[in-house]
Structure 1
Amino acid sequence: MSQLSPNLTIAALSIFVLLLIGMVLKSRTSSDNLRSYAVGSVRFSPITVALALASSLTSAATFIINPGFISLYGLGAYLAFGVVMPLAIFIALVFLMKKFRKYGVHVGSLSIADWLGKRFSSPFLQKMFGALSVLLITFIVLICVGITKVISKAIDANELYVLIGLVIVVFTYIMLGGANSLVYTNSIQAVVMVIVAGVMLYSGAGDVFASGEANLFHQLSAVDPKLVMPFNDTSPLFRDFFEVVVCNALIGIAIVCQPHILTKSLMLKEDHEVNRFLVYSILLLVLFFSVVFVGFYARAYFPDLMFEGEPLQMDGIIPAFVVSKFSAYVSLLLIIGLIAAGLSTLEGLIQSLPTSITNDLLLPLMGRDTDHSSAMKINRIIGVLIAIVVVYLSWQQLTSPNLSVAIFAQNGVYAFFSAAFVPVFYGIFTKVQNKLIPVVGTLTALGVYYSVYYLELTPYMEGATTKNPAIASALALIISFLVSGVIYISLRVAEKKDSIPEVVEDLGKSAS
């Protein structure tokens, strides 16, 4: 067990934060308006943006929270979060990024809501998604809880004080910097994450390839045979093929439809850089998503899920594993890496969420545009209000989570990208201009999602203590896609019928 000094940890974390703040201050002068704040004004290389994207997509959820699911529920959780969802994300990145960028660069979009509003010439759609972006606060809460767990465990401090300090520091330096500083800080964090991912995966590799009773999966089978089965019927989230494969495949595709993900492509100034950016991004993401496998190591290390005589909550398994398994200096490196994993996505959300609320909801309601002199002031006020809400909700999740903060976060994030998928899909892959399709698709997805979840529709939800948001999201995606498809086909058929008389008339004129 490591004897990690709290003072040494505080000193190392202070140096790390000062480094990030220094980079923010260096790039601050470039973010003097909402447009440069949102998408940047500096020319970034493909590898730099790839580092930013990979670190944004793999947050505290991937490095801290999701490995806890694997520790509790085994192979089914790993297949969901370590295999199916990443593969779906890679496919979605390749197919969605280029198309989104092509139109986003042309019209100068700052956010998903802005992009949708301009693509369908619909101020209503822009305002609706500006309002819906509030759901992403739940993901900010997840990351704050994960980082707070790591820091408080490492320095033996009160979680509330750590949480408040974390929110004040990170919200402040991101609101000062914007997209330019975000890419720089994400790049540093991604490099640290690469090192940490390698160390954590290597730490238990010997047990994976060992023979006999020393083999990792033999150890896990002795703890609970269900840990090595592809489906775990005693879990609330990984009970069968539909939950593990179908739900997570659909979510992996739709998850790319988040503002801090797709808008990364707008930071590239040249189209020919996009392919290299995607290759670098996917290679990094393969490594980062592999970190969830560490959940198996942690369960073998804590077979009874006890730490220092206390039962481990799911969100605390990986922090406890890091501070107890490794030597002091390695633990310190891993702690910084876990924090970097959380900060990378947290920064992106802090930058994109107030921007979307300001640019897509408040400014249009006030009759002002992006370049108005008050835009940045409003943006920062919104950032402060979000910070206050985040502290309140995060403290609730630290003190009384429903299994994990991940369930709370998924209930907001999954609802958002379920609602966004149909509009983004039709905006990218069709030339349709009819506003009915994206609006009905969005409203259908929201209606299905919250009906399934809160009215406990389907056998998966009935009487469940912990309900699976992935079920609600998958059904919302399927039904909204089918409904929008029917409308799309109906409109195409109607257009063809209307065009028949014109064709006959033209043929008549030609014949005469």
Structure 2
Amino acid sequence: MDAFSRNIITASLVLFALFLIGVAIKSRSKSDNLRSYAVGSITFTPLSVALALAASLTSAATFIINPGFISLYGLSAYLAFGVVMPLAIFVALAFLIKRFRKYGVNVGSLSIADWLGKRYNSKFLQILFGFLSILLVTFIVLICVGITKVVAKALDANEIYVLITVVAIVFGYIMLGGANAMVYTNSLQAVIMIVVAGIMLTSGAEQLFAGEGSDMFSQLAAIDPDLVKPFNEKSPLFRDFFEVVVCNAIIGIAIVCQPHILTKSLLLKKDEQVNRFLIYSVLILILFFSVVFTGFYARLHFPDLTMNGEALQMDGIISAYVVSKFSVYVSILLIIGLIAAGLSTLEGLIQSIPTTITNDLILPLLGSERADRSAITINRWVAVGIAVMAVLLSVDQLRSPNLSVGIFAQNGVYAFFSAAFVPVLFGIFTKTQNKWLAIISSLIAVGTHFSIYYFELTPYMKGVDVKNPAVASALALILSTLVGLVIYLVKPAKSTVKVNKDKPVTAF
């Protein structure tokens, strides 16, 4: 890309950044306490919240990183990330959102940790998940790396400088505006992502419907026969039915238990809006999850996975595809769309993780309630600390990833929602007050996940350079669910759940 094109792209990105900062400043006056910062202080429509949810669920992983897996490993990766996991997510949304909202609204929860602490009347559980939320920083790293790859490739700029600029801008405007800024910007980003998804999905359509022998899958098979097999034995992540289907189905259900997903339902002020919100969300998500199909187009564009004689890293395949495939003006739109895909989830994480650490870890450990303005100050200092941590970890992933930053992020994120799944599931669908069910199952999930991954406890982990976090997480989820079920059956449920001594809340 020539200097003139890079200048146009630079100017466009600057204007986009200024717009996002302007939105944050506009909404700042509405975020004057920790609750309004966390869940918003104004009324949003079901469509705007659905756009925000869809944008949060389909981040840089879906638009930038996961298509790279499809480019490398073909149909098996597509079945995992483009079919099985989305279907599981849709089912989980339908079953979990309404029940979580019902209890979340009743007790005024600001986060998953806050919700669990109140649901089981356990300060320890709240603090535990306040601490475990630090694991979600790995997802921030994935998105920062993804956005950095796109911008650095488009501008031919130093990745480290781009990374620092991205982190400073995004953390800055979210710290200004909180949930109000997040929903405004998420909605805008989702609209851009819809346009970008359409362009990317049609960018290789002529190959998909070509004549027999020259269609897309025939060409892929000519490059590597394993690219068109439902299970790719040569891959580290998609070797058999268990890895492709079972693991991704379990994880797709559990992934909805992340704080920046379930808490979106609290932005709706009326219960009758929830059904429309869910319908809008699923329709938009179907389009967004389909974008991983672009990985097939990219592999045909780079059959030997090189560009200008240089080998492409997996995380940079889609960035290279966009820059080399499209004209400069279409590239600008696609680049902004890919950035928007990353920012949408990044904003949710930047808003939710510091809030969780502040509200559920720091303030409880201090042993006293802090005024709203004091809590907001602590929250913003926590956000600064997370920004620094994100930069340091992202630099390491840019320089020496283990195949992909996606593996690093999955290991942390999957561990978190493995821990959250059983407490949230039983908290939503049963009347149990047994805090030990939640605590023990969470600790078992985390311990099982990291033990399997780092001690190579299954055949899937032994003798491989790239380990599959999905296997560790799926087994952790199965074991912790069984343990939780045993504890639940041993100690029958009670009829009410006490949020505190003065305010009992009837269970579902």
Instruction: Report the TM-score, using the length of structure 1 for normalisation.
Output: 0.95
Give the ranges of 4+ consecutive aligned residues of structure 1 lying more than 2 Å apart after TM superposition.
1-4, 367-373
The answer to whether the Cα contact below 8 Å between 2:137 and 2:386 also exists between their aligned partners in 1 is yes
Q: Name the SS of the counterpart of 2:273 in structure 1.
A: helix
Aligned to 1:145: 145
The answer to whether the Cα contact below 8 Å between 1:190 and 1:340 also exists between their aligned partners in 2 is yes
Aligned to 1:199: 199
Aligned to 1:241: 241
Count, aligned residues: 494
Question: In the TM superposition, what are the counterparts of 1:31-180 in structure 2 within 5 Å?
Answer: 31-180=31-180
Aligned-residue CA RMSD in angstroms? 1.2
Q: Supply the distance in 1 between the matched residues of 2:51 and 2:371 (Cα, whole angstroms).
A: 29
Q: Name the SS of the counterpart of 2:227 in structure 1.
A: helix
Displacement after TM superposition at 1:464 (Å) = 1.3
Question: In the TM superposition, what are the counterparts of 1:458-477 in structure 2 within 5 Å?
Answer: 458-477=458-477
Aligned to 1:508: none
Aligned to 1:256: 256
Q: Supply the distance in 1 between the matched residues of 2:238 and 2:371 (Cα, whole angstroms).
A: 48
Q: Which amino acid aligns with 2:484?
A: S
Q: Which amino acid aligns with 1:87?
A: L
Q: Name the SS of the counterpart of 1:303 in structure 2.
A: coil
Aligned to 1:273: 273
Give the 3 Å change call, closer, same or farther, for CA 464–447 of structure 1 in structure 2: same
Q: Supply the distance in 2 between the matched residues of 1:44 and 1:285 (Cα, whole angstroms).
A: 19
The answer to whether the Cα contact below 8 Å between 2:47 and 2:277 also exists between their aligned partners in 1 is yes
The answer to whether the Cα contact below 8 Å between 1:4 and 1:323 also exists between their aligned partners in 2 is no
The answer to whether the Cα contact below 8 Å between 2:432 and 2:492 also exists between their aligned partners in 1 is no
1:411 aligns with 2:411: yes
Gaps of 5+ in 1: 496-512
Q: Which amino acid aligns with 1:265?
A: S
Q: Supply the distance in 2 between the matched residues of 1:75 and 1:439 (Cα, whole angstroms).
A: 39
Displacement after TM superposition at 1:371 (Å) = 4.3
Greater mean deviation of Cα atoms: 482-491 or 242-251: 482-491
The answer to whether the Cα contact below 8 Å between 2:73 and 2:232 also exists between their aligned partners in 1 is yes
The answer to whether the Cα contact below 8 Å between 1:4 and 1:154 also exists between their aligned partners in 2 is no
1:9 aligns with 2:1: no
Instruction: Report the TM-score, using the length of structure 2 for normalisation.
Output: 0.96
Displacement after TM superposition at 1:207 (Å) = 1.1
Q: Supply the distance in 2 between the matched residues of 1:269 and 1:202 (Cα, whole angstroms).
A: 38
Question: In the TM superposition, what are the counterparts of 1:294-373 in structure 2 within 5 Å?
Answer: 294-369=294-369, 371-373=371-373
Q: Supply the distance in 2 between the matched residues of 1:334 and 1:4 (Cα, whole angstroms).
A: 18
Q: Name the SS of the counterpart of 1:182 in structure 2.
A: helix
Q: Which amino acid aligns with 1:332?
A: I
Displacement after TM superposition at 1:21 (Å) = 1.1
1:445 aligns with 2:445: yes
The answer to whether the Cα contact below 8 Å between 1:451 and 1:457 also exists between their aligned partners in 2 is yes
Q: Name the SS of the counterpart of 2:373 in structure 1.
A: coil
Question: In the TM superposition, what are the counterparts of 1:413-432 in structure 2 within 5 Å?
Answer: 413-432=413-432
The answer to whether the Cα contact below 8 Å between 2:414 and 2:473 also exists between their aligned partners in 1 is yes
Deviations 1:456-506 (A, max 9, x none): 01100012100000000000000000011111111139x9xxxxxxxxxxx
Gaps of 5+ in 2: 495-508
Deviations 1:315-335 (A, max 9, x none): 000000000011111111100
The answer to whether the Cα contact below 8 Å between 2:64 and 2:319 also exists between their aligned partners in 1 is yes
Q: Supply the distance in 2 between the matched residues of 1:57 and 1:195 (Cα, whole angstroms).
A: 17
Q: Supply the distance in 1 between the matched residues of 2:424 and 2:228 (Cα, whole angstroms).
A: 38
Aligned to 1:503: none
